[in-house]
């Protein structure tokens, strides 16, 4: 018999109330509470808890907390990640976040999708003849060097390319190409991010600081 976690990976209907899935979520939800009850300077304790929650968490990362991971193990985060207050990742399906990403407060990433029709949301017939509450999920993939403003929500199945800026309050319902500034509800590409956006063209803000040479030349 196909396990419910395999159904999630295959993108087909699964039962979120399956005992095996509920056990994974319960463990993670309890670990969320443990993390949220730590002090910010309890770095070793926090690192240990995150290692038990998240599937992969790259070096140099920091998550302010409080956090709310659903499965945790389905999330992979790259190096030098910063997550501000109230990071929520509902990772029924896989969530990947690249290197050097910065998330403002109240960022939410969701992967599960429920049927549109109310009677189908309540229950559907399963292959064994039973009746269960079912849903499905689509993975979310976020590239390297992305900055999300406060209260960004990323919806199921979205891919966001490298070097993107997503404006505060955006609800991202479709893919965003690399190097884009996008914002709104629903989120749409406003324009391409270019050299003209460099801080060197804003001397009144740059003050006595300097822009470093670009790493890619």
In order of 37, 66, 71, 75, the CA distances from 46 in angstroms are 10, 12, 18, 17
Q: Which of 70, 114, 133, 141 is catalytic?
A: 114
Give phi and psi for 176, each to the nearest 5: -120, 125
CB contact set of 121 (below 8 Å; sequence gap of 6+): 114, 115, 133
d(CA 109, CA 135) in angstroms, rounded, equals 17
Taking the C-alpha atoms of 190, 196, 202 and 205 in order, what is their torsion angle to the nearest 10 degrees? 50
Strand partners, 137: 112
**In which order are the strands placed within the sheet that holds 153-154?**
67-69, 87-90, 108-110, 153-154, 171-172
**In which order are the strands placed within the sheet that holds 56-57?**
56-57, 75-77, 95-97, 140-142, 159-160
Q: Are 60 and 40 in contact (CB under 8 A)?
A: no
- Annotated catalytic, 133? no
d(CA 184, CA 169) in angstroms, rounded, equals 7
Q: Enumerate the active-site residues.
A: 114
């Amino acid at each position: 018999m196909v396990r419910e976690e395999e159904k999630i990976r295959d993108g087909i209907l699964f039962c979120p109330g399956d005992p095996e899935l509920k056990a994974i979520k319960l463990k993670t939800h309890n670990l969320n509470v443990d993390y949220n009850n730590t002090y910010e300077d309890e770095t070793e304790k926090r690192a240990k808890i995150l290692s038990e929650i998240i599937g992969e968490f790259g070096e140099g990362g920091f998550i302010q907390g409080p956090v709310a991971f659903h499965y945790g193990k389905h999330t992979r985060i790259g190096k030098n990640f910063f997550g501000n207050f109230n990071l929520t990742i509902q990772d029924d399906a896989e969530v990947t976040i690249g290197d050097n990403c910065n998330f403002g407060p109240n960022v939410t990433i969701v992967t599960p999708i429920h049927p549109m029709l109310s009677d189908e949301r309540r229950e559907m017939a399963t292959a064994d003849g039973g009746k269960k509450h079912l849903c499905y999920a689509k993975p979310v993939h976020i590239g390297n060097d992305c900055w999300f403003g406060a209260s960004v929500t990323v919806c199921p199945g979205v891919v966001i390319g490298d070097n993107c800026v997503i404006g505060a309050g955006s609800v991202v319902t479709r893919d965003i190409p690399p190097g884009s500034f996008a914002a709104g509800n629903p989120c749409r590409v406003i324009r391409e991010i270019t050299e003209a956006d460099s801080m060197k063209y804003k001397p009144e803000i740059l003050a006595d600081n300097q822009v470093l040479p670009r790493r890619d030349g």
